[in-house]
Chain A
Amino acid sequence: MSRKALASNQLTAVAWLRLLFVATLAVAVVLTPGFLSAPSLLTLLTTVSFVGCVAVGMTFITLSGNIMSFSLGATVAACAVTFVAVLNAAGPLAGIVAALTVGGLLSGAQGAIIGGLRANPIIVSIAALALIQGGLNFITGNATTNANPGAGHEVLRGKLLGLPIEFVVLLILVVLGQSILTWTTFGRHIYFVGSGVRAAEAVGLRVGWIVTGAYFWAGLFSAVAGVLLGLRYNQANMEYGFGYDYDAIAAILVGGTAIQGGQGSVFRTFAGVIFIATIQVLLLLHGFRQEWQYLIAGIIVLLVVMLQTTGRRHV
Chain B
Amino acid sequence: MTAIARGFVAPKNRPYLFLSGTVFFLTMLDWNGGRFLTSATAFSVLQTFATLGPAALGLGMTMLVREFDLSIAGVFGLAGCVAVLTGGESAWLGLLFGILTGAAFGSVQGMIITSLGLPSIAVTLGGLLIGVGMAFVLTESQSIVYGNMDLALRLNERIATVFSLRSLVTAATFVVAAIVLGFTRIGRDMVALGSDRRSAEIVGLNVKALLIGAFICSGALAAGSGALLSYSLTSAAPSGLSDVLVPAAAAAILGGVSLSGGTGTPAGIAAGVLTLAVMRAGLNAIGAPPYAHDLAMGAILLAVAVLDAPRFGQNLGRLLNRQ
Q: Footprint of B on A, CB under 8 Å?
A: 67-68, 70, 113, 116-120, 122-124, 126-135, 137-138, 142, 242-243, 246, 249-250, 253, 259-260, 289-299, 301-302, 305-306, 308-315
Nearest chain-B residue to A119 (Cβ)?
B309
Q: Is the interface of B mostly helix, strand, loop or mixed?
A: helix
Q: Smallest Cβ distance from A51 to chain B, in angstroms?
A: 13
Q: Given the complex of chains A and B, what is the CA–CA distance between A293 and B240 in angstroms? A: 11
Q: Are B311 and A290 in contact (CB under 8 A)?
A: no
Q: Is B116 an interface residue (CB 8 A)?
A: yes
Q: Are A130 and B301 in contact (CB under 8 A)?
A: yes
Q: Is B34 an interface residue (CB 8 A)?
A: no
Interfacial chain B residues near A243, Cβ < 8 Å: 240-241
Interfacial chain B residues near A298, Cβ < 8 Å: 126-133
Interfacial chain B residues near A260, Cβ < 8 Å: 119
Q: Which of A138, A259, A313 contacts B291 (CB 8 A)?
A: A138
Interfacial chain B residues near A293, Cβ < 8 Å: 133, 136
Q: Are B298 and A315 in contact (CB under 8 A)?
A: no
Q: Given the complex of chains A and B, what is the CA–CA distance between A116 and B314 in angstroms? A: 11
With A119-B312, A302-B130 known, 14 other A-B pairs at CB within 8 A are A127-B297, A129-B298, A135-B295, A246-B125, A249-B125, A293-B136, A294-B132, A294-B133, A297-B129, A298-B126, A305-B123, A311-B117, A313-B117, A315-B197
Interfacial chain B residues near A297, Cβ < 8 Å: 129, 133
Q: Given the complex of chains A and B, what is the CA–CA distance between A260 and B119 in angstroms? A: 8
Q: Smallest Cβ distance from B284 to chain A, in angstroms?
A: 14
Q: Are A117 and B309 in contact (CB under 8 A)?
A: yes
Nearest chain-B residue to A123 (Cβ)?
B305
Q: Is B141 an interface residue (CB 8 A)?
A: yes
Q: Smallest Cβ distance from B250 to chain A, in angstroms?
A: 6
Q: Are B133 and A118 in contact (CB under 8 A)?
A: no
Q: Smallest Cβ distance from B309 to chain A, in angstroms?
A: 4
Q: Are A259 and B299 in contact (CB under 8 A)?
A: no
Q: Are A129 and B246 in contact (CB under 8 A)?
A: yes
Q: Is the interface of A mostly helix, strand, loop or mixed?
A: helix
Q: Which of B112, B122, B298, B310 contacts A131 (CB 8 A)?
A: B298
Q: Is B302 an interface residue (CB 8 A)?
A: yes
Interfacial chain B residues near A123, Cβ < 8 Å: 253, 259, 301, 304-305, 308
Interfacial chain A residues near B259, Cβ < 8 Å: 120, 122-123
Q: Is B260 an interface residue (CB 8 A)?
A: yes
Q: What are 27 of the A-B contact pairs (CB < 8 Å)? A: A70-B246, A116-B311, A122-B249, A123-B305, A124-B302, A126-B301, A127-B302, A127-B305, A130-B246, A134-B295, A137-B289, A137-B290, A138-B289, A142-B290, A246-B125, A250-B129, A253-B122, A259-B122, A260-B119, A293-B136, A294-B129, A294-B240, A295-B136, A312-B117, A313-B117, A314-B117, A314-B119
Binary contact track B248-284/A, C-beta < 8 Å → 1, others 0: 0110010000011000000000000000000000000
Q: Is B76 an interface residue (CB 8 A)?
A: no
Interfacial chain A residues near B298, Cβ < 8 Å: 127-132, 134
Interfacial chain B residues near A311, Cβ < 8 Å: 116-117
Interfacial chain A residues near B294, Cβ < 8 Å: 130-131, 133-134, 137
Q: Smallest Cβ distance from B303 to chain A, in angstroms?
A: 8
Interfacial chain B residues near A314, Cβ < 8 Å: 117-119
Q: Given the complex of chains A and B, what is the CA–CA distance between A120 and B252 in angstroms? A: 14
Nearest chain-B residue to A246 (Cβ)?
B241
Q: Smallest Cβ distance from B122 to chain A, in angstroms?
A: 4
With A123-B304, A131-B299 as given contacts, are A299 and B119 in contact (CB-CB < 8 Å)? Answer: no
Q: Smallest Cβ distance from A73 to chain B, in angstroms?
A: 10
Q: Smallest Cβ distance from B101 to chain A, in angstroms?
A: 14
Interfacial chain B residues near A137, Cβ < 8 Å: 289-291, 294
Q: Are B117 and A119 in contact (CB under 8 A)?
A: no
Q: Are B121 and A131 in contact (CB under 8 A)?
A: no
Q: Is B35 an interface residue (CB 8 A)?
A: no
Q: Are A295 and B128 in contact (CB under 8 A)?
A: no
Q: Are A292 and B127 in contact (CB under 8 A)?
A: no
Q: Which of A120, A290, A301 contacts B305 (CB 8 A)?
A: A120
Q: Given the complex of chains A and B, what is the CA–CA distance between A259 and B119 in angstroms? A: 8
Q: Are B112 and A306 in contact (CB under 8 A)?
A: yes
Q: Which of A124, A291, A295, A315 contacts B129 (CB 8 A)?
A: A295
Nearest chain-B residue to A139 (Cβ)?
B291
B114-164: which residues lie under 8 A (CB-CB) from chain A? 116-119, 121-123, 125-134, 136-137, 140-141
Q: Is B166 an interface residue (CB 8 A)?
A: no
Q: Given the complex of chains A and B, what is the CA–CA distance between A67 and B185 in angstroms? A: 32
Q: Smallest Cβ distance from A308 to chain B, in angstroms?
A: 8
Q: Given the complex of chains A and B, what is the CA–CA distance between A249 and B68 in angstroms? A: 15
